Amino acid sequence: MTMRFTKSMLCFLLVVAGVLILLVLAAYLDVSLRYRGDILPPEEVTPRPVAIVFGAGVYPGGRLSPVLAERVETAVALYQAGKVQKLLMTGDNSIPTYNEPWHMADYAIRLGAPEKDIAFDYAGRRTYDSCWRAKHIFGLDEVVLVTQRFHLPRALYLCRSLGLDAVGVAAEGRRYRWGTRLWFSLREALARVQAWIDVHIRHPQPIGGDPIDIFSPDYQGRYE
């Protein structure tokens, strides 16, 4: 009786594990494949009002990590090509001594982007938060997403699921070490499953606030 019960329990657990694996794989593929056709080369992007530039690591002293510097460089090139009117720098500023959007803007200005056309989202702590706030706080509809190719499927999935008409432009050009690429791939695989869960199950509530019109003449940008 005990052996039969043990075998039945083992079979049940194997079935549950198999179903969970299939669900995780389905979620991963849904996020990975659904909007991959919306990743465009810069020259094929129809002009849109705003580019959303996603934050990443900033080193002590304010120097951007290579990944983040590449995103800002790509966004500034889009702006200078007339593809977007504004750059929305979105990233983490959860503690006073760490401010991704401010340093992203500082680099963009040094690359030639005018300060008046740079906007700030200091509560973009996750990609989900950045997409949600772009729609519900900044009132955006049509956007270009600027980040690396490995990140774009998730960013597009989240923004589209949250009501934004979005296309993506990949920040490319730098060569990363094999170990760095592997880390990005593993991290992104888990993040894509999390994105699917956030959209369909969790519906997390990012930091809210009053509406912000970045096209208003009264918009104060980095000083708000």
List pLDDT tens digits, range 130-142: 999 999 999 999 9
Q: Per-residue pLDDT for 46 more than 50? A: yes
Average pLDDT over every residue of 76-87: 97
Contact of 146 with 75, CB cutoff 8 Å: yes
Average pLDDT over every residue of 217-222: 79
> For residue 37, how far is the Cα from the chain centroid?
17
How far is Cα 93 from Cα 220, in angstroms, rounded to an integer? Answer: 17
Nearest to 128 by CA among 160, 93, 155, 88: 155
Segment 143-184, tens digit of pLDDT: 999 999 999 999 999 999 999 999 999 998 777 777 777 888
165-170 and 142-147: which strand pairing? Answer: parallel
The DSSP element (H or E) to which 127 belongs, if any, is helix 127-136
| AA identity, residue 217 | P
Q: Per-residue pLDDT for 20 more than 80? A: no
pLDDT band at 3 (very low <50, low <70, confident <90, very high): low
Q: What domains lie within the chain, and their CATH numbers?
A: 34-223 (3.40.50.620)
Q: What is the pLDDT of residue 223?
A: 47
Give, as one character, the DSSP assignment of residue 202. Answer: I
Q: What is the mean pLDDT of the chain?
A: 90
Contact of 98 with 75, CB cutoff 8 Å: no
Q: What is the pLDDT of residue 148?
A: 95
pTM greater than 0.75 (yes/no): yes
Out of 120-129, 176-185, 186-195, least confident range: 176-185
Distance (Å) of CA 224 to CA 123, 155, 157, 208, 219: 13, 26, 30, 15, 8
Average pLDDT over every residue of 18-27: 76
Residues 6+ apart with CB under 8 A from 79: 51, 85, 87, 113, 117
Q: Per-residue pLDDT for 35 more than 60? A: yes
3-state secondary structure of 2: helix
pLDDT band at 5 (very low <50, low <70, confident <90, very high): low
